[in-house]
Amino acid sequence: MAESASAPSASASEEVRRWRTAFLSLRDETVTAADDNSNSDDGDNNDIAQLLHHLLFSHSEILISAAPDLPSHEVTSDLVFLLELVVLVCAQNDEIENKSNSRSLFTVLSRFVHDVCHRVPLQLNSCSWSLLLRCLGNMLDILIPTTSTSATASHSCIECLSTLKCVVSGYQRKSSPSDDIQLVEFLLQVISRAHSHLSLWEIQTICLTLLSQTISRLGSQHFPSQLWISTVEVFRKVMDVLASNSILLQDNVMTRFYAALLHSLHLLLKDPKASLSHHVSSFVAALRMFFTYGIVATTYRQLSLKNDFDSPLEQQPKPTKHAPYRPPHLRNKNRTSWTDHHESSALDCASSDSDYSDSDGPMKDTDSLCKSRIRVAAIECIQDLCQADPKSLTTHWMLLLPTSDVLQPRRFEATLMTCLLFDPYLKARITSASTLAVMLDGPSSVFLQVAEYKEPSKCGSFTALSISLGHILMQLHTGILYLIQRENHGRLLVSLFKILMLLISSTPYSRMPADLLPTVVTSLQQRIEVGFPFKSDQTGLLTASISCLTVALTTSPCSLQVKEMLLKELSAGFHEAEMKSGVLCSLFQYSEQVSNSAVCFEALQALRAVSHNYPSVMFSCWERVSTMVHGFLSVPTAEVNTKPWKGNVGTTVGLIGENVVTAAIKVLDVCLRAISGFKGTEDLFDDKLLETPFTSDYIRMKKVSSAPLYEPEISDDTKDEKVGESGIEQWSEALEKHMPLILRHTSAMVRAASVTCFAGITSSVFFSLEKEKQELILSSLFYAAKCDEVPSVRSAACRAIGVISCFPQVFQSAEILAKFVYAVEINTRDSSVSVRITASWALANICDSVRYCIDTISSEGSPDYKRMSQSVALLADCALRLSNDGDKIKSNAVRALGNLSRFIRCTRLSGFQDKIMAETILYVKSNSPEEFPSTSDWKGSNSSASTSCCPAFFVDPRWLERTVQAFISCVTTGNVKVQWNVCHALSKLFLNETLRLQEMDWAPSVFGILLLLLRDSSNFKIRIQAAAALAVPSSLLDYGNSFSDVVQGLVHLVENLDKDQISAPSSFKYRIALEKQMTSTLLHALSLSSSTHHEPLKDFFIKKALFLEQWLRLLCSSFLASSSEPLVVNESVRDQKREMIRKAIWSLTELFEGRRQYAIAKKFDKLEENIQ
């Protein structure tokens, strides 16, 4: 009571006087007792108990009624003094180990403190707070062990915790984080004590409630990691006890306990501060028991439809008659049962923000509502575990997800799909859906790639993990598709579509039943056809369903069954298909309904996926695609028809967004690529560096993401016929009908998409077009690259220039080359990184193409000759400048330098202090019809050839030196892609036969870098390319003084290759290729060793003779074994392998005989005889 209130009555004054007298007497008596040196501690303890009983507890009702009339600080001070006495009594009890006298005292004391605290707000500080917790802890230590035999003790424990709860509610605003940490530690101690007494559920419930409030108040920032670990340990023990029991108790007391436990666990798991890997199994085992909590199985209704993917989509459920509205507390309380929730799906259309809305189904009572919340809380905890430690949770998927009979509710083997399919509570189903989405997202998508499906009868007694995962994926498909076909609640449907999208992305369909992916596509198409009953959800759900269909159509490798389904639809023609149901027909219909831009955009994305994954389908769709795209582009104003363009009249509303038009152009782009047979940038390399006899079978084909996925079963003859005839026709139509409308479009997105189309043309189609159309393409690219103000358009133009520059015939004109070089060079100086990346990529392609077009120059001094010379000089300077840019640009710059170094002539000229100069070789053809000579003719071996050559002009005399310096710098500063390109560029440099490598000062550094990368790089692709580069020099002279280091390094690396630790799993697939390339490189080096005069190297060979003999014997055995299988190895490849091995053995034999090591030489002679 405030002091400013009116004067209390006479009786109240008397009660206040008695309070003050009692506590003053208590203080005096305890001080007197403390001064007396009594010999009996027990007597001391009894004196305090008697004082408390005499002065306080004998008339506690009067004192309690007086507390509100006293100042709160006075009451607080008196209670703190009382608590200090309690601590003293507890200390004495510990000494004499006799607590029987204190139990009755603490029973009365707990009631007294409880009643006072509920009447007067205490004014505590940190010291008094610690004292309160210590006192309550001591009291509970004595009371809890007797709760099993004394109801009074149990009630006293509850009063102590209720007191604490009351004090916390008043003190929490003033409490510091350290006070809350003390409270958490106190509560954990009480829970641990009560944990061993299974009857103290109410005590634990109060502690867990306080704990959850304190954790929320502390927040993540102030919750110490060590305390979090201790809290998890306590919760694990509690959950272990629950998991050890086969059944959960379902009375009201236990329901409150479970609710408090799961809520606290949720707060704990959603913000982990340490690893949970040691606790996941315990938590999962216990949480799984709550999936069916509160549900009675006796009245369960079986699902009406068969567990069959091929079952037709049911008609919409007929509306049921509902009784007049009754509030929840008046509804029938006998309906807590497992029921088919689809019976109430029609009522679930209007969601509510409450935990349990009136629309959630028929007549639920309060008890069932509380139990349903517990199911939700348990599922949320599973979701928290998945987010906190997804890797550990994957080992428990067999407990949480079904492996069979997903449409049968197994109450005692419930899974998340059981909750999603059968739980009568809407929020539980939605929470199950969100948890499944979390489980399928992230690392699990990689984990599921090992899955494979086998019929249960073929699995045997032991089921491997991969097969179990395959069964899980199959059951998930069954359940999710079942729900998608029949569910009408919008919020739940959105979650289902998200699950299906993740499921499709994670499923390796090539190892699943062949009809699974077609079933997914068909089910989605049927649901899209049926539609969604509520207008407010239609756009969102239709967009989500088409997005799922897009993901299904994007799945790689593509499905032959889906392809056949699409071709079957097209074989009937679009007219007939529109009368029936068809995937392509539906997509085209929705893509033309531009009044709904979101649905239109998603439909266009799906059509693009069809074009990319099933290119053979697009031959029959071209006319429809062309008409559709032209419909978007031919509208004279921004307004469009609400009906498809095939309709004649319609009202015009809305605007076509640029994203829709851009999506339509991308469909056109991929369709043209599919019809033209585009497979990526055309390879101009005539030097296949990796294609040695030992590596040709292990070269991994590079996958071009922008190229359609062509089916391997299509024969080359059939494909060429279609491409040769249809590709030209379609491109001609696009250039006449579509390109004039989009190349100068006002939208930059549209212009960029239109220019990107040119990056998908092939050389066969390009040079089959009319001259005017070729010039249209080239002029459009020049204009976009040089004049457009938007970086994305310039970047797209550079990409297209890089593709077209790989066409050999395009540079027959030096003028076109000069324009390409000028357009690209300008963009390499652009401020936008994305523009510089594509410009540098195009620059590298041009540098590779130039050497194939030099023979078109007529004579020195002609205009074409000067343009070509200037272009090459500009390319050289530009590539050197870009080698100092970022890694993505630097990698392309290094590739450009390597391509240039392949053909720029290096010669020794007088007047430059006898240094190596770099000059461009432009081969000038005479009137002879012979082809352009190979690089092997450059050394003068074919002096009588009719083709002569002369230097065109001198580039920077230090260009070669600067190039090598750039290579060395890029190796040390660049990323793995840059390092790989440096190795490849050095291979190109070594192929320059005009380069006297042995005379270069930088040669040892270059060979040293390659050896270092081969030994130390963690990236196997870099090591493969470094080994390939070391095998390029064709003679001992080319290696110079580095030959000894190269050979010794190769021998050591091959000897220890089996000891290599694969740091990244992605490197494993390249291990065989590395072994083969190392074998090929070492054999090449050994074949040159007989010519060496380096004595230490000969000594090294003698030292390693045993290893080399064993290695070569193993190689010979492997060769002979493979030779016995003529269908496995090509005859010419087998002969080349034999020759390489034979040369290496012969060279070593010669070396050992030269050093008079005849015994060793004889062993190698026998090896050579065996391989003949």
For the whole model, what pTM was predicted? 0.80
Contacts of 534 (CB under 8 A, 6+ apart): 349, 488, 490
Contacts of 957 (CB under 8 A, 6+ apart): 912, 915, 917, 918
Contact (CB, 8 A) for 992 and 901: yes
Dihedral sign of CA atoms 549, 552, 553, 554 in order: positive
Phi, psi of 582 (to 5 degrees): -155, 145
**83 pLDDT above the threshold of 50:** yes
Contact (CB, 8 A) for 1086 and 1109: no
Q: What is the pLDDT of residue 957?
A: 61
453-479 mean pLDDT: 82
Q: Greater confidence, 788 or 175?
A: 788
Residue type, 500: L
User: pLDDT category, 45, cuts 50, 70, 90?
Assistant: low
User: pLDDT category, 459, cuts 50, 70, 90?
Assistant: low
**731 pLDDT above the threshold of 80:** yes
Can you tell me which residue has the tokens 């009245």? 299
Per-residue H/E/C for 87-129: HHHHHHHHHHCCCHHHHHHHHHHHHHHHHHHCCCCCCCCHHHH
**646 pLDDT above the threshold of 50:** no
Q: What is the pLDDT of residue 712?
A: 57
Quickly list DSSP for 826-889: HHTT-S-HHHHHHHHHHHHHHHHHHTTTGGG--STTSHHHHHHHHHHHHHHHHHHHHTTS-HHH
Beta-strand runs (E) in 964-1070: none
Distance CA 835, CA 795 (A): 5
Contacts of 377 (CB under 8 A, 6+ apart): 258, 259, 262, 263, 266, 290
Distance CA 531, CA 596 (A): 15
Q: Kindly state the helix (H) or strand (E) to which residue 793 belongs, with its residue range.
A: helix 791-804
From residue 245, give the alpha-carbon distance in Å to each of 196, 543, 548: 14, 47, 42
Phi, psi of 914 (to 5 degrees): 55, 35
The first and second tokens of residue 400, run together, are 């949480």
Identify which of 155-169, 698-712, 919-933, 965-979 has the greatest average pLDDT: 965-979
Distance CA 460, CA 463 (A): 7
**324 pLDDT above the threshold of 80:** no
Among candidate residues 881, 868, 874, 901, the one with its CA nearest the CA of residue 836: 881
Of the listed ranges 504-518, 853-867, 893-907, 1023-1037, the least confidently predicted one is 853-867
End-to-end CA distance of the chain: 112
Distance CA 585, CA 566 (A): 10
Distance CA 1070, CA 1063 (A): 12
User: pLDDT category, 684, cuts 50, 70, 90?
Assistant: low
From residue 670, give the alpha-carbon distance in Å to each of 560, 624, 1108: 20, 14, 54
Q: What is the pLDDT of residue 701?
A: 57
Contact (CB, 8 A) for 185 and 200: no
**851 pLDDT above the threshold of 90:** no
Q: What is the pLDDT of residue 537?
A: 80
pLDDT tens across 806-844, in order?
887 787 777 888 889 999 999 999 999 999 999 999 999
Among candidate residues 1093, 1104, 1109, the one with its CA nearest the CA of residue 1165: 1109
Taken as a whole, the chain contains a residue count of 1172
Contact (CB, 8 A) for 603 and 591: yes
Q: What is the pLDDT of residue 932?
A: 29
pLDDT tens across 346-355, in order?
333 333 444 4
Q: What is the pLDDT of residue 839?
A: 96
Q: What is the pLDDT of residue 149?
A: 60
pLDDT tens across 585-634, in order?
999 999 988 888 899 999 999 999 999 999 988 888 899 999 999 988 87
Among candidate residues 159, 157, 163, the one with its CA nearest the CA of residue 140: 157
Distance CA 786, CA 1105 (A): 63
Angle, CA 671 vertex, CA 667 and CA 676 arms, to 5°: 150
**230 pLDDT above the threshold of 70:** yes
Contacts of 740 (CB under 8 A, 6+ apart): none
Q: What is the pLDDT of residue 949?
A: 35
Distance CA 673, CA 656 (A): 25
Among candidate residues 1155, 1148, 1156, the one with its CA nearest the CA of residue 1109: 1148
Cα atoms in the 13 Å half-sphere on the side-chain side of 482 = 25
Among candidate residues 991, 864, 895, 985, the one with its CA nearest the CA of residue 934: 991
**1114 pLDDT above the threshold of 50:** yes
**244 pLDDT above the threshold of 70:** yes
pLDDT tens across 666-676, in order?
999 999 999 98
Distance CA 131, CA 167 (A): 13
pLDDT tens across 747-780, in order?
999 999 999 999 999 989 999 999 999 999 999 9
- Bridge partners, residue 906, by sequence: 918
**917 pLDDT above the threshold of 60:** no
Work out the angle between the directed axes of helices 1131-1154 and 1095-1103 (0-180°, nearest 10): 110
Q: What is the pLDDT of residue 168?
A: 85
Among candidate residues 131, 233, 145, 122, the one with its CA nearest the CA of residue 186: 131
